[in-house]
Amino acid sequence: MIYNVAAETMNEKEIEQLQIEKLQTTLYRVYNNVSFYHNTFNQHKINIEKIETIEDLQKLPFTTKEDLRKSYPYNMFAVPLKDIIRLHSTSGTTGKPIVVGYTKNDLNHWTELVARLLVAAGVSQNDFVQIAFKYSLFTGGFGFHYGAEKIGALVIPSSSSENIYKIISIMKDYKTTVLLSTPSYAVNIIKKLDELNMHPENLFLKIGIFGAEPWSENLRTYIQNKLHIKAYDTYGLTEIIGPGVAGECIEQNGLHINEDHFIVEIIDPETLLPVKNNNEGEIVITTITKEAFPLIRYRTGDIASFIQGKCKCGRTFKRISRIKGRTDDLIFINGNKIFPSFIEQILVEYGGIKPDYQIIIDNEDGVDILIIKIAISDKIPSFDEIKQLERIKQKIIERIDSEFEIKAKIIFVEPLTLRQPFDSKYRYVIDNRKRI
């Protein structure tokens, strides 16, 4: 089934015409209402009236995460605060979070976009949808919640913050047919089911929709085989809108972009020019219907490629591959996103100077764990006392836990022990997780 046939089956010319009309409206909105874009367009001598085709989009400057961080909290908003009825934000992995506002129209659009991707994955009004994303400033829980209600499904807002045994109990007792979570959380459920000697046939699951972190085709096969479901990929960013940017249909052959709301480019992160054919590159997104928080040519840092040809499902929107990686050093752990620079910032804050450190990510019983090794330096007087050292350790643990609900393990080591003689480049992050 297709949720919005008129929109999702437009021909190429119709899509392009719609996009350029909405783009021009958005450009005027940001130029007139957002000082960042007003100043940036003036600096680059951008004449909005000259942006007449989708190809002309390349004449516009990019927007980066750093631009958004500098706008904290409301300087990128294109409408008065009285018109904002919802706020969400990123986790603030580099200090200040990125705060995103929504108008009533934004929320209505968001709800429909999520409804589209749920229907594309086979979800219907007869399903019991269990949402195991966090219900918080993170967009996943609320985004999927209202989209599922839109199509008339029964929604179970269990949230991943609940005890996983309780999640499984709810899944069994409430007859859940659709699970929404991170793929790593699904793996954790699988392991707990094994511990409980509970066979998937004792559940009612049919569909799993997973996102918020990269995952492989092999992991899809593993989840499908273990839970006896069909597993689908979804893509969204808090900065853009949340879930609903793109999602897989039942063909499981690429994620359909909701092109009537977003213009997606894939560029070479080195040359900043569009990639050719179906080569991999960095996803760049321009919003064309957002009222509160419109973004022009936003560099996501996510690596993917366009998928050529038509999809058998009948949708005509362009498709992208699953996310292949990142252009930066962003770490995904239990659905959370952490930059090593954020860890470094905490270490400097509590230690006084930047120490040698190493971040190690591993997996125990299906749960990602974070280990931080810190070299004791003679230049840090506070490290002379064991009690002070323990206090610093506890403060770091508490700070990381408050930001990400992750219990980090802190290990102090002797100076220079972190440097590997066979490495020509110092490795700040070591990922020991076995990829399925």
Give me the pLDDT at residue 172, please. Answer: 97
* Same domain (yes/no): 386, 253: no
* Same domain (yes/no): 239, 155: yes
105-115: burial string, b at 16+ Cβ within 10 Å, e else? ebbebbbbbbb
For residue 9, the tally of other CB atoms under 10 A from its CB is: 14
Does any domain span residue 16? Answer: no
Q: Enter the tokens of residue 43.
A: 């600096």
The string of DSSP letters for 18-51 reads: HHHHHHHHHHHHHHHH-HHHHHHHHHTT--GGG-
When pLDDT is averaged across residues 190-197 and rounded to a whole number, the result is 93
* Same domain (yes/no): 239, 350: no
Domain containing 115 — which CATH number?
Answer: 3.40.50.12780
* Same domain (yes/no): 180, 216: yes
Please name every residue paired with 286 in a beta bridge, in sequence order, or none if there are none.
263
Give me the pLDDT at residue 435, please. Answer: 60
Cα–Cα distance for residue pair 317/237, rounded to 1 Å: 19
* Same domain (yes/no): 390, 412: yes
Q: What is the pTM (predicted TM-score) of this model?
A: 0.81
Q: Whole domain around residue 140: which residue ranges?
A: 81-328
Last residue of a domain, which of 305, 328, 351? 328
* Same domain (yes/no): 225, 93: yes
pLDDT in tens, 309-323: 999 999 999 999 999
When pLDDT is averaged across residues 291-308 and rounded to a whole number, the result is 96
Work out how many domains the chain is built from and give that number: 2
* Same domain (yes/no): 363, 286: no
Q: Is 68 left (phi over 0), alpha (psi -120 to 50) or beta?
A: alpha
Does any domain span residue 29? Answer: no
* Same domain (yes/no): 313, 338: no
* Same domain (yes/no): 391, 324: no
Does any domain span residue 378? Answer: yes
Higher pLDDT, 161 or 227: 227
* Same domain (yes/no): 175, 124: yes
Give me the pLDDT at residue 385, please. Answer: 66
Does any domain span residue 412? Answer: yes
* Same domain (yes/no): 164, 261: yes
Last residue of a domain, which of 273, 305, 328? 328
Does any domain span residue 248? Answer: yes
Does any domain span residue 217? Answer: yes
What percentage of the chain has pLDDT greater than the value 90? 67
Domain containing 391 — which CATH number?
Answer: 3.30.300.30
Q: What is the largest CA-CA distance in the chain?
A: 70
Element holding 96 (H helix, E strand):
none
Does any domain span residue 153? Answer: yes
* Same domain (yes/no): 275, 167: yes
Give me the pLDDT at residue 422, please. Answer: 41
- Of 135, 354, 302, 151, nearest to 143 by C-alpha is 135
Does any domain span residue 56? Answer: no
Last residue of a domain, which of 304, 328, 352? 328
Cα–Cα distance for residue pair 117/306, rounded to 1 Å: 18
pLDDT in tens, 105-118: 999 999 999 999 99
- Confidence check: pLDDT of 129 > 80: yes
- Of 338, 325, 415, 414, nearest to 369 by C-alpha is 338
When pLDDT is averaged across residues 243-260 and rounded to a whole number, the result is 98
